[in-house]
């Protein structure tokens, strides 16, 4: 019960008090009005100058108020008079309000039945964005909510089957229907992700990939679980149709044996900007074909690869800005040479899982290089000195686990961060780096000379 109390003092506004005294009995069945006048003897509890009037409710069915005809005599008790005297020249008006239901009404342009489902009223691109965060099977379940969600699912350009699937006939049927529907309605696919077990049937390669290419797929993530059997990695067979995806911007492959098409040995990925390969088997011919056809490539990542004895990137990739190489440990690793010529390369990371076989690294042609990370790469004193002589824009350098380096001499105007870790044969460091902000090293043998 909500109670509102309005307090009016006769001394402050006598006219308002008189008007309100007349109004409290009009049109308000639940009203208690009382007036008090000060007694000459304020301490006399027997004074009869107080007057309390209860206005009888004629309309409400509350018998408790209707039976109070003689309440004036009852209220003339010492206790009540004492409480009334404490109020002193004050009038109290008490109104009792019954709770009411507030109706906000339906949204503009919507019916009463659908006014509560505001999400379904969102534009379809926003619904697509919401569904893009869900796994495909969860997004498909949303289609049962309404016709709006069903339409959003059937036109969804993001399909994520990104968990290990054991092949089954049901999965084959679902995938065929899902992709065929998008091809029929000419849906431009933005992203498709699929992760299969090694033992799954890879019959999708020609059929599904061709449908995705027809739908102008922009981002493709394919993953096959790898297995290590009798000292060798077992790789899945990559569908060759993927090399004809002209609209593809991002390609991520895991667990595949990458071979060029047998007919002409060329690839057509002219729109490719990012290439991520992990746990793959590839050779120098693929790297050469990639450098020839992927002229818009900006980000290249090769992690835990096998089959390469040398990694050579010429000057045919003018937009290349980032390279990340993570080599396998011996004896699986065969990589010995890294030779990179990329005039706009900004970030380069070369890492062996353990002490590897990489003994030649040529990167002095990368004049725009700013960040360099080398892990378990054997470099010499002269190589390091020549590196900073050629790369004037280098700002951050991380050197981890280099066994061949003994004396580190660095002269650089722009170097800001230097980190040296576990270079156990290093005995001295000479730095002429006026803008160096952070120097982090873990070695107890060498001395540091700051120029």
Distance CA(97)–CA(305), nearest Å, equals 77
Q: Are residues 86 and 150 in the same domain?
A: no
Q: Are residues 336 and 238 in the same domain?
A: yes
Q: Are residues 393 and 356 in the same domain?
A: yes
C-alpha to C-alpha distances, 389 to 384, 392, 411, nearest whole angstrom: 9, 7, 8
Residue 120 domain flag: no
Q: Are residues 275 and 393 in the same domain?
A: yes
Residue 348 domain flag: yes
Total domains in the chain come to: 2
Residue 179 domain flag: yes
Q: Are residues 93 and 167 in the same domain?
A: no
Extract the tokens encoding 424: 């156990």
pLDDT in tens, the chain (451 residues): 443 444 444 444 555 545 555 544 444 444 444 444 444 444 444 444 444 444 444 444 444 444 444 444 444 566 666 555 555 444 444 444 444 444 434 445 544 444 557 888 889 899 999 998 988 888 888 888 888 888 888 899 999 987 666 656 677 788 888 999 899 989 999 999 988 776 555 555 678 889 999 999 999 999 888 777 776 778 888 888 899 899 999 999 998 999 888 877 788 899 999 999 999 999 889 999 999 999 999 999 999 988 888 999 988 999 999 999 998 766 667 788 899 999 999 999 999 876 656 778 999 999 999 999 999 888 899 999 999 999 999 999 999 988 888 999 999 999 999 999 888 888 888 999 999 999 988 776 665 655 5
Query: Could you say which of 403, 421, 444 is where a domain stops?
Result: 403
Q: Are residues 229 and 170 in the same domain?
A: yes
Give the list of residues 6+ apart from residue 424 with CB closer than 8 angstroms, or none. 403, 443, 445
Residue 442 domain flag: no
Q: Are residues 91 and 139 in the same domain?
A: no
Q: Which helix (H) or strand (E) is 396 found in, with range?
A: strand 396-400
Residue 428 domain flag: no
pLDDT in tens, 203-212: 556 788 899 9
User: Does a cis peptide bond (omega within 30 degrees of 0) precede residue 434?
Assistant: no
CATH of the domain at 260: 3.80.10.10
Asked whether the beta carbons of 164 and 197 are under 8 A apart, the reply is: yes
Residue 107 domain flag: no
Q: Are residues 17 and 143 in the same domain?
A: no
Q: Are residues 132 and 53 in the same domain?
A: no
Residue 207 domain flag: yes
Q: Are residues 85 and 152 in the same domain?
A: no
Chain-centre distance of CA 200, in angstroms? 31
Query: Could you say which of 55, 78, 97 is where a domain stops?
Result: 97
Residue 248 domain flag: yes
Distance CA(341)–CA(361), nearest Å, equals 11
Q: Which helix (H) or strand (E) is 5 found in, with range?
A: strand 2-9
Nearest to 277 by CA among 312, 302, 297: 302
Q: Are residues 322 and 229 in the same domain?
A: yes
Domain that holds residue 236: 125-403
Q: Are residues 241 and 314 in the same domain?
A: yes
Q: Is the dihedral of CA 325, 384, 313, 369 positive or negative?
A: positive
């Amino acid at each position: 019960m909500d109670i509102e109390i309005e307090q009016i003092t006769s001394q402050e506004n006598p006219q308002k008090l008189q008007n309100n005294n007349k109004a409290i009995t009009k049109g308000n069945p639940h009203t208690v009005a009382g007036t008090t006048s000060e007694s000459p003897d304020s301490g006399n509890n027997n004074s009869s100058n107080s007057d309390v009037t209860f206005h009888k409710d004629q309309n409400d069915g509350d018998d408790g108020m209707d039976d109070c005809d003689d309440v004036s005599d009852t209220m003339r008790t010492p206790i009540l008079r004492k409480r009334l005297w404490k109020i002193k020249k004050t009038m109290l008006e008490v109104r009792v309000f019954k709770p009411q239901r507030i109706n906000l009404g339906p949204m503009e342009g919507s019916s009463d039945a659908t006014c509560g489902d505001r999400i379904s009223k969102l534009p379809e691109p926003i619904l697509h964005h919401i569904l893009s965060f869900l796994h495909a099977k969860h997004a498909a379940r949303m289609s049962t909510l309404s016709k709006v969600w069903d339409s959003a699912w059937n036109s969804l350009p993001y399909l994520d089957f990104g968990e290990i699937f054991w092949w089954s006939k049901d999965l084959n049927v679902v995938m065929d229907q899902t992709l065929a529907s998008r091809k029929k309605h000419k849906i431009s696919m933005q992203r498709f992700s699929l992760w299969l077990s090694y033992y799954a049937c890879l019959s999708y390669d020609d059929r599904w990939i061709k449908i995705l290419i027809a739908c102008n797929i922009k981002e493709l993530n394919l993953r096959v679980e790898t297995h290590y059997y009798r000292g060798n990695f077992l790789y899945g067979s990559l569908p060759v149709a993927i090399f004809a995806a002209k609209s593809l911007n991002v390609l991520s492959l895991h667990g595949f044996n990458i071979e060029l098409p047998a007919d002409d040995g060329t690839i057509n990925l002219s729109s490719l900007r990012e290439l991520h390969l992990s746990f793959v088997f590839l050779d120098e011919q693929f790297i050469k074909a990639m450098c020839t056809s992927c002229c818009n490539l900006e980000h290249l990542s090769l992690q835990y690869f096998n089959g390469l004895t040398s990694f050579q990137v010429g000057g045919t990739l003018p937009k290349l800005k980032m390279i990340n190489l993570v080599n396998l440990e011996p004896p699986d690793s065969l990589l010995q040479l890294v030779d990179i010529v990329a005039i706009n390369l900004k970030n380069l990371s070369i890492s062996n899982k353990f002490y590897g076989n990489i003994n030649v690294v040529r990167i002095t042609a990368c004049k725009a290089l700013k960040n360099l990370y080398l892990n378990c790469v054997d470099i010499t004193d002269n190589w390091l000195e020549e590196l900073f002589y050629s790369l004037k824009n280098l700002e951050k350098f991380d050197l981890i686990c280099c066994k061949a380096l003994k004396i580190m001499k660095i002269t650089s105007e722009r170097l800001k961060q230097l980190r040296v870790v576990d270079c156990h044969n290093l005995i001295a460091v000479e730095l002429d780096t006026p803008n160096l902000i952070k120097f982090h090293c873990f070695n107890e043998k060498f001395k540091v000379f700051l120029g």
